[in-house]
Amino acid sequence: MEYSAIDFVMRGDSTEPPLLSLVQHIKAGATDFSGVPNLTWHWDGQTIVNPLSYVPRTLDEVDVPDYRYAMRSAMNSPAT
């Protein structure tokens, strides 16, 4: 959030539902994003950190064909 080119940062392990909420807010022309869970954003020169309130108990709702493959690939990727 140090860079002015960054408007939003979504925090958390599974951010699909909060990201959908953000997109819906933007599409509706909203300027107040305080209702979007897990979001860090800029407003009037200030950084606002919304509560990390979307924390799913499981990742069962994530629609990834093989989530285990994605996790293994991330764990096996070489360090940069």
Helical ranges in the chain per DSSP H: 16-27, 67-76
Q: State phi, psi for 31 to the nearest 5 degrees.
A: -120, -10
pLDDT in tens, 9-68: 999 988 989 999 999 999 999 999 999 999 999 988 899 999 999 988 877 766 666 667
Predicted confidence at residue 21, as pLDDT, reads: 96
pLDDT band at 78 (very low <50, low <70, confident <90, very high): low
Predicted confidence at residue 67, as pLDDT, reads: 64
Cα torsion through 21, 71, 2, 35, rounded to 10: 20
Predicted confidence at residue 9, as pLDDT, reads: 96
